[in-house]
Chains A and B, each alone.
Chain A
Amino acid sequence: EIVMTQSPATLSVSPGERATLSCRASQSVSSNLAWYQQKRGQAPRLLIYGASTRATGIPARFSGSGSGTEFTLTISSLQSEDFAVYYCQQYNNWPPVTFGQGTKVEIK
């Protein structure tokens, strides 16, 4: 099973600032990595797939990078609606599909 590890667990950022979230895989997942955003009481929403491709309707301030075992989600200028929990997920090797434990982005 591929273990996904996200850091930090919590990121405190001021609106307008840049946020950088990390995700590490226990073995290579090539570029088969997705990022999801989950707001309180809501279902997850796909942000990024293929490590760097934005899903339909996702603003350009969200960008993904990386391949192999190291990945980054960057939010260039945080808006109030971006404060949420973010999960990475590998889909290179399954079963099982595996998620990271999440990074909570909170208002500083």
Chain B
Amino acid sequence: EVQLVESGGGLVQPGGSLRLSCAASGFTFSDHYMDWVRQAPGKGLEWVGRTRNKANSYTTEYAASVKGRFTISRDDSKNSLYLQMNSLKTEDTAVYYCARAKTTVSNYYYYYYMDVWGKGTTVTVSS
């Protein structure tokens, strides 16, 4: 069974740091791009960022709202994805989901949609 399980959420003060983890199983983790998506209380879904796979040099992309503060990394040997969050703000309070990016090809271009999601881990930034 394909599964993603997030962990590491909790309560942190503004300006603090937190590291989230996402454990993958049931598929070849190293082949896939992976995403982090968050959802503030009562709000919609917001893409946080993405890591490419080894074939694409593990490069990363981020939403403007987190760029420079958050870092996505992965350890393919552990089938794990990480989100290092620094300089946290109250507006970073959210449920954080990891998601697998599924590859599709159209007209020789590659596209990626999120086909498997974890259940999420809650981050609360408050003093």
Q: Are A and B part of the same complex?
A: yes
Given contacts A89-B114, A96-B63, contact A50 B104 (CB under 8 A): yes
Q: For the complex, is A11 an interface residue (Cβ under 8 Å from B)?
A: no
CB-contacts of A29-46 with B (<8 A): 30-32, 34, 36, 38, 42-46
CB-contacts of B97-124 with A (<8 A): 97, 102, 104, 106, 111-120
Binds A, one of B17-25, B41-49, B74-82: B41-49
Main secondary structure of the interface of B (DSSP, over half): strand
Instruction: List chain A positions with a Cβ less than 8 A from chain B.
Output: 30-32, 34, 36, 38, 42-46, 49-50, 55, 87, 89, 91-92, 94-102
Q: How many residues of B contact A (CB 8 A)?
A: 26
Interfacial chain B residues near A49, Cβ < 8 Å: 102, 104, 113, 115
Interfacial chain B residues near A102, Cβ < 8 Å: 44-45
24 CB < 8 A contacts A-B: A31-B106, A32-B106, A32-B111, A32-B113, A34-B114, A38-B45, A43-B119, A44-B45, A49-B113, A49-B115, A50-B104, A87-B44, A87-B45, A89-B45, A91-B111, A91-B112, A94-B50, A94-B112, A95-B49, A95-B62, A96-B47, A96-B63, A99-B44, A100-B44
- Whether A43 contacts B97 by the Cβ 8 Å rule is yes
Interfacial chain B residues near A34, Cβ < 8 Å: 113-114
Interfacial chain B residues near A94, Cβ < 8 Å: 50, 61, 112
Q: For the complex, is B92 an interface residue (Cβ under 8 Å from A)?
A: no
How far apart are A53's CB and chain B's nearest CB, in angstroms? 9
Nearest 6 pairs of A and B residues by beta carbon: A95-B61, A97-B47, A43-B117, A99-B45, A34-B113, A49-B113
